[in-house]
């Protein structure tokens, strides 16, 4: 089943509220990575501690995953969308491995897997299943990331050994539950969100979030290197 249950007229325009929300998530992502990169590059004096800023990272990650699931109900072809995310995830892995920071299952890998799993059956939306996913995420989130096993064969699921390392790591459990919460709720929520309520300059980053995700880190590192050279 290639087409989502929402009528074809839904695809004529994007939903500005979702793009605006995604824009805020992009902004949080850029701010977090800028602060992180400053400390990693030895300019930590500018950022005394990252702890209070972790809320920005959480806002970005939670938003991106929930919105990615929500978008399943708006996509004409989730299988193609999942394939595109797979290619982007593989590109990230190759680049990060080249600089010595392997990404074995980052947020793009998770989005790709979840999108392809959803496209396999394209289930109907359900408020109760969406809320159930959110509840299960709330239960698993506090303790599952600390669980360790003696092998890494299920790292994609959320079970990893003490020696496992991935510079960006968002396994299916518990993080995929945020995606599926959005996917189940999308069919019910999206028709009520309205359109063209935000200015185009504000929604533009949200419409191009994947491109900005791919480009923002090289740009930030280049700017930091320029700052270091000027100093």
- Taking the CB of residue 25, how many other CB atoms lie within 10 A of it? 24
- Tell me the pTM: 0.87
CA–CA gap between residue 112 and residue 84 (Å, rounded): 8
State the pLDDT at residue 98. 86
Burial status of residue 140 (CB atoms within 10 A of its CB: 0-12, 13-18, 19 or more): middle
Q: How far apart are CA 74 and CA 90, in angstroms?
A: 25
Count Cβ neighbours within 10 Å for each residue of 88-109 and write b for 16 or more, e otherwise.
Answer: bbeebbeebeeeeeebbbbbbb
pLDDT in tens, the chain (231 residues): 333 444 444 444 689 999 999 999 999 999 988 888 887 777 756 665 667 788 899 999 999 999 999 999 888 899 999 999 999 999 989 988 887 888 999 999 999 999 999 999 888 889 999 999 999 999 999 999 889 998 889 999 999 999 999 989 999 999 999 999 999 999 888 888 776 688 999 999 999 999 998 888 888 888 888 887 776
Q: How far is CA 182 from CA 31, 106, 114, 118, 203, in A?
A: 25, 19, 11, 11, 20
């Amino acid at each position: 089943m290639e087409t989502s249950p929402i009528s074809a007229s839904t695809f004529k325009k994007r939903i500005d509220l979702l793009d605006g929300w995604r824009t805020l998530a992009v902004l949080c992502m850029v701010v977090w990575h800028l602060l992180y990169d400053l400390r990693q590059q030895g300019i930590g004096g500018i950022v005394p501690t990252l702890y209070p800023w972790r809320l920005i990272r959480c806002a970005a990650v939670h938003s991106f995953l929930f919105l990615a699931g929500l978008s399943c109900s708006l996509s004409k072809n989730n299988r193609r969308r999942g394939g595109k995310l797979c290619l982007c995830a593989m590109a990230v892995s190759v680049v990060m491995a080249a600089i010595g920071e392997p990404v074995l299952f980052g947020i793009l890998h998770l989005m790709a897997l979840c999108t392809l799993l959803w496209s396999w059956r394209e289930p109907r939306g359900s408020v109760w299943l969406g809320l159930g996913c959110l509840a299960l995420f709330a239960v698993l989130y506090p303790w599952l990331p600390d669980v360790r096993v003696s092998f890494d064969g299920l790292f994609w699921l959320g079970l990893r050994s003490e020696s496992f390392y991935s510079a960006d790591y968002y396994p299916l459990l518990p993080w995929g539950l945020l995606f599926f919460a959005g996917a189940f709720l999308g069919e019910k929520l999206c028709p009520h969100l309205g359109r063209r309520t935000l200015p185009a300059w504000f929604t533009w980053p949200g419409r191009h979030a994947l491109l900005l995700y791919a480009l923002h880190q090289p740009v930030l590192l280049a700017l930091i290197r320029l700052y270091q050279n000027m100093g």
